[in-house]
């Protein structure tokens, strides 16, 4: 069950601050200033615990709350409240969500399109293009707002928004892996640039770009005027590679330049040295994707290496507490891609059951971006059996760095649950 705790803060609409006076005394002598935010936390907690108790086999509840406090992250998602359908509120959503993440509130979002008002088609399009990179992604509006379903907008807007939503679905394996990392390490899902590049002091004040995990940088386009260049900063030491995730064009840091971005495009970069798992089959829901094959994107660094992870569990129960999950580590070095279990993987009854459920899920495609030497053959080794297969140079390679290539290995025939390696020749 999915529950939304809305308007769950003590409200007095005609009051001086739309709530009770701060000095108002509650039971036990507590002033209102001390308990106001606790109300929302405890309501979300009670809802979470109530949903758990109603199931014979406990399933993870989804509880969205408007009011929150320290500790609310343990019980569900939150959002930034009633925003407006204007460009300034689109821009404001980025520092607000970064602040939430740095405060431990990781599963957060802002109302796509703005709650109050009526966004014009270009604003709504840009909001979807940014909103797919919110940890919590949803469109929401006041009942008095005009209908704004994407299909009502007509072309080209409906195609642009459809492409954005499909990108969100493709990236779900990466998002889920990030949330797993956050649950173990408490690292934010959205990160300010300074968190990944702490030695670059000029990034400390940057609020118009952010990292999704350590591997992806998003630079939102938040201006109505598409003729105005968007400032692109590619951080990192000399030789740090970045790749446009849509064209695979490669760029070397440090780099600062203005880029004109039309409404059909966005600025999303993969960090050199990252391996990013995706699922690329178009589906109507994430539930339909559970047994779909994976595509693994390898974005090499200046040394030709890359690392990444993939975490999967059933998405519903708490069996992952008992080892009922798959967590694979991917390492690409010396022109060889290796898949191995993470150090947190364990052989338990639950892990065996989940492994059997996923036993036929394959890696359908491997894309290796940024290679200096483009291979033509590969040796695939799995379960002590080896086979040789051809690889192809990708038509997606649009790199302006002449020494950087891109290859695709279609249907390598390896299973996501197994140990395997693929060596390029």
Q: Which residues are catalytic?
A: 6, 9, 82
d(CA 123, CA 150): 12
Closest of 253, 255, 258 to residue 272, by C-alpha: 253
DSSP-based three-state secondary structure for 356? helix
Q: Could you give the count of Cα atoms lying within 13 Å of 161 in the half-sphere of its Cβ?
A: 23
Distance CA 76, CA 4 (A): 10
DSSP for 385-409 reads EEEEEE-EE-TT---SSTT-EEEEE
If we measure between CA atoms, which residue out of 259, 98, 91 comes closest to residue 194? 98
Beta bridge partners, 392, equal 408
C-alpha distances in Å from residue 123, one per residue of 81, 119, 127, 405: 19, 6, 6, 36
Query: Are 148 and 124 spatial neighbours (Cβ–Cβ below 8 Å)?
Result: yes
Beta bridge partners of residue 312, listed in sequence order: 326
- Written as one string, the DSSP assignment of 48-65 is HHHHHHT-SS-B--EEEE
Cβ neighbours, 10 Å, residue 309: 20
Burial label, 375 (beta-carbon count in 10 A; 0-12, 13-18, 19+) = middle
Task: State which H helix or E strand residue 355 sits in.
Answer: helix 349-357
CA-nearest of 76, 82, 90 to 46 is 76
Of 372, 412, 368, residue with least CA distance to 390 = 412
Q: How far is 178 from 172, CA to CA, in rounded Å?
A: 10
Q: 52 near 67, Cβ under 8 Å?
A: no
Count the helix, strand and coil residues of the chain and give each as a percent rounded to the nearest 5. 25, 30, 45
Count the residues in the chain.
425
Cβ atoms of residues 326 and 339 within 8 Å: no
């Amino acid at each position: 069950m999915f529950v939304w705790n809305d308007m769950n803060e003590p409200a007095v609409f005609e009051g001086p601050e739309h709530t009770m006076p701060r000095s108002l005394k509650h039971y036990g002598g507590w002033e209102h200033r001390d308990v106001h935010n606790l109300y929302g936390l405890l309501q979300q907690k009670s809802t979470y615990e109530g949903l758990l108790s109603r199931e014979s086999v406990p399933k993870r509840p989804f509880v969205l709350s408007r009011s929150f406090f320290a500790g609310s992250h343990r019980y569900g998602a939150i959002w930034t409240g009633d925003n407006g359908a204007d460009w300034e509120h689109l821009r404001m959503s980025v520092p607000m969500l970064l602040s939430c993440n740095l405060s431990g509130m990781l599963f957060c979002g802002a109302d796509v399109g703005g709650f109050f008002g009526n966004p014009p088609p270009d604003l709504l399009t840009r909001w979807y293009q940014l909103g797919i990179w919110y940890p919590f992604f949803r469109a929401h509006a006041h009942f008095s707002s005009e209908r704004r379903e994407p299909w009502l907008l007509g072309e080209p807007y409906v195609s642009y928004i459809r492409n954005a939503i499909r990108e969100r679905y493709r990236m779900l394996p990466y998002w889920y892996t990030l949330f797993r990392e956050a649950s173990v390490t408490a690292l934010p899902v959205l990160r300010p640039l300074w968190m990944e590049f702490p030695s670059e002091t000029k990034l400390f004040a940057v609020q118009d770009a952010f990292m999704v995990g350590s591997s992806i940088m998003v630079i939102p386009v938040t201006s109505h005027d598409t003729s105005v260049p968007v400032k692109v900063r590619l951080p990192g030491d000399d030789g740090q590679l970045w790749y446009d995730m849509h064209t695979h064009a490669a760029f070397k840091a440090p780099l600062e330049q203005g880029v004109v971005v039309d409404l059909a495009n966005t600025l999303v970069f993969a960090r050199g040295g990252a391996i990013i798992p995706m699922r690329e089959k178009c589906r109507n829901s994430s539930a339909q994707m559970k047994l779909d094959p994976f595509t693994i994107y390898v974005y090499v660094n200046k040394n030709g290496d890359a690392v990444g992870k993939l975490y999967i569990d059933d998405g519903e129960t708490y069996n992952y507490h008992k080892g009922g999950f798959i967590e694979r580590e991917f390492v690409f070095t010396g022109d060889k891609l290796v898949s191995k279990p993470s150090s947190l993987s364990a052989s338990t009854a639950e892990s065996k059951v989940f492994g059997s459920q996923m036993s036929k899920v394959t890696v359908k495609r491997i894309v290796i971006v940024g290679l200096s030497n483009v291979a033509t053959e590969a040796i695939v080794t799995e379960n002590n059996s080896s086979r040789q297969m051809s690889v192809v140079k990708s038509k997606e390679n649009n790199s302006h760095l002449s020494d950087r290539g891109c290859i695709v290995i279609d249907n390598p025939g390896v299973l996501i649950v197994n140990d395997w390696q693929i060596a390029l020749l």
